[in-house]
Structures are given as structure tokens and as C-alpha cells.
Structure 1
Amino acid sequence: MRAAELLQNRRAAAQIEVRDAVGNLLADGDQVTLIKDLDVKGAGQTLKRGTLIKSIRLTGDQQEIDCKYEGIKGLVLRAEFVRKR
């Protein structure tokens, strides 16, 4: 991704409100907990309910958040399956 595209995505993310499953407003750097067991496509593993995901990033999409979890690259979660911690 070029620098201009990255800047544009960050500006778009700042304008969109992303809310978790219970309605809490999410922001970059928040910690979230999974509220449902999720099968991760391509990774061959399941993230269990209650798993803590640290330091999320907003993507500019109202329902998707980008995050890191050990052993899984490029993990994108739907906001409806997480709760702000």
C-alpha cells in the first residue's frame, strides 16, 4: 500500500464510528474480547470465546477491525463478534 492510500484510509477510519456488539465505541489501540468462538479461515484454528485481542486498528469499514494475534497474519474481525475491554 502506498503512503497516500494509507493516509486516506486513516482519514476515512477517523470519520466512521465503529461499535462493538454491545454498542461501545471502538478506537485504534483498544483491547477487545471475543464473544463467540470463531473459525479462522486459512489458519486452521479456532479463536475461543473470551480470547483477548490487543491493540486493534480501524480499517475504515464500519463493521471490520484489523488486529494481530499470535500465529495468525492479517486477522480481520467483524465488530459484531467483539466486546470492548
Structure 2
Amino acid sequence: MAKDSNGTELNAGDSVILIKDLKVKGAGATLKRGTMVKNIKLTNKDTEIEGKIDKMGVIVLKTEFLKKA
């Protein structure tokens, strides 16, 4: 069961917001705090989700840096 930084349960299709600036390995870009990730997908790991970000495509994010929107 995936949970955000506040302990709120995350479900497939939820929207989440980044709570910290994150550097994206391999892309040479930084995701800014406050960026919304819509329609997330759950992965096999409870600490990770997949989300689509504009101009970046699908990216895997750790749930400790997210809060439910």
C-alpha cells in the first residue's frame, strides 16, 4: 500500500504534488516543488509510483517526496 509523505494512502489515478525540488537523473533537469503529477500508477514497490510529467514523459517517483493533491 503506497502512502505519501503525510501517510495518506495513494491509489491509481490520484494526483500528487511534489514537496521538494528533485533532480532527474539522465535528463539534466529539475522538477520543481509544487509540480502536479496527475493520474499516477502504482508500482510493485510501496515506496514508488509512476507518473507522467509534461515535457518529460513517464517518470518513477519516490512517495516520500509527494503529497496527495
Q: Is 1:53 matched up with 2:34?
A: no
Larger CA deviation: 30-39 vs 65-74? 65-74
RMSD over aligned CA atoms reads 0.8
Name the structure with the higher strand share.
2
Larger of the two Rg values belongs to structure: 1
Report the number of matched residues: 69
Runs of 5+ unmatched residues, structure 2: none
Q: Percent identity?
A: 49
Where is the helix percentage greater, Structure 1 or Structure 2? 1
1:31-50 deviation line (CA, Å, top 9, x unaligned): 00000000011111101111
- 1:8 corresponds to which residue? none
Q: List gaps (5 residues or longer) in structure 1.
A: 1-16
TM-score, normalized by length of structure 1? 0.78
SS at match of 1:80: helix
